[in-house]
Chains A and B, each alone.
Chain A
Amino acid sequence: MPEPPSTPEPTIEFRHAGYIIPAKEERSILNDISFRIAEGEVVSIIGRSGSGKTSLLKLINRIHRHTSGDVLVGGKSVSAWDVIRLRRGIGYVVQETGLFPHLTVRENVCVVPELEQWPRDRSRQRFHEVMASVGLNPKEYAERFPRELSGGQRQRVGVARALAADPKILLMDEPFGALDPITRSELQQVFLDLSRRVSKTIVLVTHDLREALLLGTRAVLLDRGGVVASATPEDFLKLDQPAVREFIAASELRLGQPA
């Protein structure tokens, strides 16, 4: 099957986007979000719990539907996208990995290629490539089940799965959040190598300021559903808005050292 021509261009844009949970007591999660993510950027979305960062991520692949404004992927509103096409063109990694417990590592990784009906050889070759790129021996792990892996290995497989169909956009929600500090920094290295080697537009949600500044080419701070700052890692620490200072101070307290 030839590559579908409708793979999203790797740009993301929020135009006054808002998200209200449609319930009896409406709860506003995000309001008036406007910013643009260019091709090849690695944007860290930071903020405390409840700031709306995960919701923001989910507006991009339409797991949540924005309720006002617009969210554009590749210059086209996510509402105008065929949602299946949109999602298959966007890799997605979450903290809990969401690996399919009944499938082997190989089957897990090859889910999207298989949905896209890639020829078997191409899938297999791709499996080897992405496993190698997350630092796992493809032969050794192919037939294992997720329950037979450690947390760090599972997370690597989760990243491999997101990369499998070679999406140009990658969304990551606290991908290293549940790992011990050593595994975490190992995976951060894997991430850095990857993000330098493959040119992808990456949106990474984290509550860890140090991780955000280490991995991102830009950090966006969310507070109570709105964007309060957006800056490169170097500039971010120099910002003097109160919300930014507060977040930095809280992070330093937590880490016991400057971020």
Chain B
Amino acid sequence: MTLWLFFATHRHEILSAIEQHLLLVAISMVIAIAISVPLGMVIVSRPRLRALALALANIFQTIPSLALFGFLIPLPFIGGIGARTAIVALVLYALLPILRNTYVGLTTIDPAVLEAAEAMGMTENQVMFRVRLPLAKSFILAGIRTATVITIGIATIAAAIGAGGLGTFIFRGVAMVSNVVILAGAIPAAILALLADYSLGFVEHRWKVH
């Protein structure tokens, strides 16, 4: 069976897998951003919390994804079989790139600019929201971009714990020893990753402050 034929006959199934996949990624990214960006802002002035947060995020990143899914399954509330567990795992992976870039962006600012802000009588919050955050915007977006691309890839493994998405085809193809079926999952996943990379890269470039 050729690839095109498979795509044509299974297009509804593939489209709904893409939809599931995007939903998994989008929900995970929203949660990861909602955690990492504020956390990144908080650790700017708290060195001990910074060390702890970055170390933890680093550790999550080093756990092999299949193992992490496995670890999560027996956990109450966040674990089990299905999309919820997958989202927890994807969030944990996305934390590090966003957190690290947020922190780096917020702290690599010309000291003269920060001193001017302080000397003009800005409060700490005003320095954060009016100076640091706008200047860190493109760094933060670069982190989100990296995290999104990683998440689109890792989300294929989520099918192993019944979360659906494009990984369904990949696992099925492996079981059937059919390259065509594997590619039916892998090609759309790769295209999604490239599209995300390109479009976020475009915005990132426009947000860059010289």
* Interface residues in chain A, defined as those with a beta carbon under 8 Å from any beta carbon in chain B: 61, 63, 83-88, 90, 92, 94, 96-102, 111-112, 115, 145, 147, 161, 171
Contact = CB atoms under 8 A, between A and B. Distances in A.
A96 B119 contact: no
Contacts, number: 59
Interface in B81-124: 110, 112-123
B135 interface: yes
Given A85-B121, A88-B120, A102-B135, A115 B126 contact: yes
Do most interface residues of chain A lie in helix, strand or loop, or is the interface mixed? mixed
B113 A100 contact: yes
Nearest to B113: A98
A88 B121 contact: yes
Contacts of A112: 120-121
B134 interface: yes
B131 interface: yes
Contacts of A86: 121
B120 A111 contact: yes
B12 interface: no
Contacts of A85: 121
Contact of B116 (A84, A88, A98, A102): A98
B186 to A, nearest CB: 41
Contacts of B114: 98
30 contacts: A63-B118, A63-B119, A84-B121, A84-B123, A85-B121, A86-B121, A87-B120, A87-B121, A88-B121, A92-B119, A94-B112, A94-B115, A96-B110, A96-B112, A98-B115, A98-B116, A98-B117, A99-B116, A100-B117, A101-B135, A101-B209, A101-B210, A102-B134, A102-B209, A111-B120, A112-B121, A115-B122, A115-B126, A147-B210, A161-B120
B120 A99 contact: no
B119 to A, nearest CB: 4
A92 B209 contact: no
A156 B209 CA distance: 21
Nearest to B134: A102
A83 B122 CA distance: 10
Given A100-B131, A102-B209, A87 B116 contact: no
A99 B109 CA distance: 12
Contacts of A171: 119
B57 to A, nearest CB: 27
Interface string B131-152: 1001100000000000000000
